[in-house]
Amino acid sequence: MDQLRGTLTLLGERPLGRRGPRVTALGLGCAPLGNLYRAIDDESATAVVDAAWEAGIRFFDTAPLYGNGLSERRVGAALARRPRKDFVLCTKVGRLLQSPEAGAHVDTIFADAPRLEPVYAYSRDSVLRSIEESLSRLGLDHIDVVHVHDPDNHEQEALTGAFPTLIELREQGVISAVGCGMNQWQMLDRFVQRVDLDCILLAGRYTLLDRSGADVLLPRCVEREVGVVIGGVFNSGLLADPIVNSTFDYGPAPESIRDKARGLAGVCSARGVSIVAAAVQFALRHEAVSSVVVGAQTVAELEIDVGAAVAPLPADLWVDL
């Protein structure tokens, strides 16, 4: 990481909406640190956070769902040695971790995670309990940004329970910013219109492959001064290497999507640039975007992400893409 130490300072910080804290243009998405798809140990997770810090990342995004609390615990432990005022921490509400019934099967994409069952919960009491439990796992004294997490089938509950509770906590100074994180743009657009949000986390819907969030949601966020964090810029792996990877949005990629990804990779290859760099910088270019969060399970993966964010790209590449 030595060759990349501090290079992200070139990208500077951006405001997370009109009220939110300033965040680094590149953030660390911490789902992989919760053993997403494969297990890593605590030391490897700490090494990734440390490497992110050395590179200049000061924005960290986690959630109770990620490894059933494992990500929060690892992120909190790794950041405990850092001055609290020097970083911005985001977590989420909307799922409470409960012990499953004896013998019950629990589906999860997180390897070797604690045997807990994430249960959707968006009421006031659930939100307050979730934040209290997150603070305990993190071992930190406060959380900066709290997103309502994946309320796809719970829109009304989020509107009447979770959002008003978080806004009350913001007004009391308990948290700094209120947001919502989803893999779809349509409901996020409704929330931006109806809720006094500071920011949103849009995953997978503003990428080189899927730009569906661009026409309506992102301009609305500019108009309302709502900060946008972009996640999933590789669409869960396909854009990182369309030749080797075949995963799109957490499942097998349709052949038409794979063909489109290979075509984008071909354009980049012909110009002598990495599609990884193009994927990261494509999202960073939009005026609505405050930060792009990228994930890594190893220091080597993080080095690729950081290098991608600062790699020089031809100005006319975007026309070709």
- In CATH terms, 2-320 corresponds, of 3.20.20.100, 1.10.645.10, 3.40.50.12780, 3.30.565.10, to 3.20.20.100
Cα–Cα distance for residue pair 242/304, rounded to 1 Å = 16
| CA dihedral over 69, 136, 230, 8, signed as positive or negative | negative
Is the model's pLDDT at 34 over the cut of 80? yes
Active site residues per annotation: 66
pLDDT value at residue 236? 84
Tell me the pTM: 0.96
Angle of CA points 59, 312, 207, to nearest 5° = 55
Give me the mean pLDDT over the 85-90 stretch: 98
pLDDT value at residue 2? 62
Cα–Cα distance for residue pair 204/8, rounded to 1 Å = 23
- Shortest CA distance to 39 belongs to which of 124, 113, 114? 113
Is the model's pLDDT at 167 over the cut of 80? yes
Domain ranges across the chain: 2-320
Across 121-254, the runs of DSSP E, i.e. the strands, are 145-149, 177-182, 199-203, 227-231, 247-248, 251-252
The β-bridge partners of 90 are 61, 145
The β-bridge partners of 251 are 248
Mean pLDDT of the chain: 95
